[in-house]
Amino acid sequence: MERPASRLRIRSRGSALALALIGLLLAAPASPAPPRASDGTRLLEAAETSGSAVVGRVGAPRALDGSGWLAPLRIETVLLGPTVGESIELAWEELAASRAPRFREAERVLVVLAPVPSGSLWSKRVGSPALRQRTRVVADRSRAFVREPSLGATNRLRHYWALSQTERRGATGLGHLASLIGSAEPPLATSAAHALASSSAGGELIDSGSARDLVLGLLRDDVPSALRDALLGWIGGARPPALRAELERRLTPPDAPAVLHLALARLEGELAAEHSEALLASADPELRQVGAAHAGPEQLGVLRGILAQDPIARVRVAAVRRAAAIGDEPGFEAALDAFDDAEPTVRAAAADATSRSAAFDAIRLRGIAFGWPRPAPETAVLALRLHASGASRAVLEEIAASHEDAGLRTLAQIALGRDPQAH
């Protein structure tokens, strides 16, 4: 009689466990819904085209069809362009049906407006002439908006847009853009960085206050990489003199953020040898990456050490690109060290970098293809393909015809643009 009782207890325990698991599953939170659409990173560009931007409070949204939406917008402030009335109908597209509409009732938004385009789907959706007259479409394919903009950012935009086109490209306009980059909401800051990068304004127009704002923008951790990329690109072209003092002040600690070292390199055109040496010796991989990207010919030995020993792939990528870019034969030879790297991204970078080297040597790559163990021969085939010279093609022809490794013969055939099955 004990065994049935034991089985009953086991069965009861199993049932209890199953019920507990079911309860946990039922109580588990559902997968999060996709986030609402948000952009605004090209808002200033859209405003230059449309000439109309407002801040307002959204009413209850309503769907017109599968993707078109309307919501009343009570205007609080006109930032740019003519007065559009106390209230308008705001129109936008929602192409992802799985997520909630981008605007919610009672939400405050900054939005760039465009008229309903004639002959478009919108002109059919809002067929009534009276409704069409009151309707404005969110510009830039429904992306030119920012939710809950700060008072400081909207005031700065109002002042910026009040300037003439000439003044916007001058010191005052650049100062407003720098201030937005340093402190505005991430989409507005990114939009201002794009506006700065696309301007033809000279760096001499940047004063010390604007330089400080630009550095604050570089240091922000709440913005996409597009902001830093745009800023670094502009710094490299405009070379604002006032930025040097601000960067040097913040670069005094040896462990200053890598982006500041990058900014100095863009500003100067290069880093001093002692500067890059210090970065190469850092324990921080981001700093080593910057150091590797700006090493000089005298540091090829250090770059080769990185390619042999550095545990971080992106640091090795920077090292192989820099070694090949140095342009002489020792730099090309150093870059070949990465042809058998364990990480595919490093090998791909090595193939691309060596194919661009001024010291490219197809015969040297032939020796790798026939003499080194895999994966180096595969990297050599890719580099030969990317170089696309007569000498490179001749080596590929030889690999395709006579290499003992059938897989490499096939790879060479593909690099030559042939169908391996046809041979």
pLDDT over threshold 60, residue 22: no
pLDDT band at 124 (very low <50, low <70, confident <90, very high): confident
pLDDT over threshold 70, residue 205: yes
Quick check: is 12 in a domain? no
| pLDDT value for 26 | 47
- Please give the residue range of the domain that contains residue 65: 43-149
pLDDT band at 347 (very low <50, low <70, confident <90, very high): very high
Cα 155 to its chain centre, rounded Å, is 28
pLDDT over threshold 60, residue 27: no
Which of 269, 296, 319 is a domain's end point? Answer: 269
Torsion on CA atoms 94, 96, 98, 99, rounded to nearest 10: -50
Quick check: is 284 in a domain? no
Q: DSSP for 312-344?
A: -HHHHHHHHHHHHHT-SHHHHHHHHGGGG-SSH
pLDDT over threshold 60, residue 6: no
Which of 96, 124, 149 is a domain's end point? Answer: 149
Backbone φ and ψ for 205, nearest 5 degrees, come out as: -80, -10
Which of 115, 149, 183 is a domain's end point? Answer: 149
Q: What is the mean pLDDT of residues 187-211?
A: 93
Q: What is the mean pLDDT of residues 338-345?
A: 96
Q: pLDDT, tens digit, for every residue of 85-100?
A: 899 999 999 988 788 8
CATH number at residue 87: 2.40.50.120
Alpha carbon distances (Å) from 112 to 50, 79, 140, 290: 7, 9, 8, 38
Number of structural domains the chain divides into: 2
pTM of the shown model: 0.77
Q: pLDDT, tens digit, for every residue of 50-89?
A: 999 999 999 999 999 889 999 999 999 999 999 988 999 9
CA nearest neighbour of 353 among 394, 410, 307, 411 = 307
Q: What is the mean pLDDT of residues 128-153?
A: 93
Residues 48 and 125 both lie in one domain: yes
CA nearest neighbour of 350 among 377, 379, 374 = 379
Q: What is the mean pLDDT of residues 93-108?
A: 90
Between CA 137 and CA 145, with CA 139 as vertex, the angle to 5 degrees is 100
Distance CA 382, CA 354 (A): 10
- Determine how many CB atoms are found less than 10 A away from the CB of residue 105: 12
Torsion on CA atoms 328, 329, 333, 334, rounded to nearest 10: -30
pLDDT over threshold 50, residue 8: no
Quick check: is 283 in a domain? no
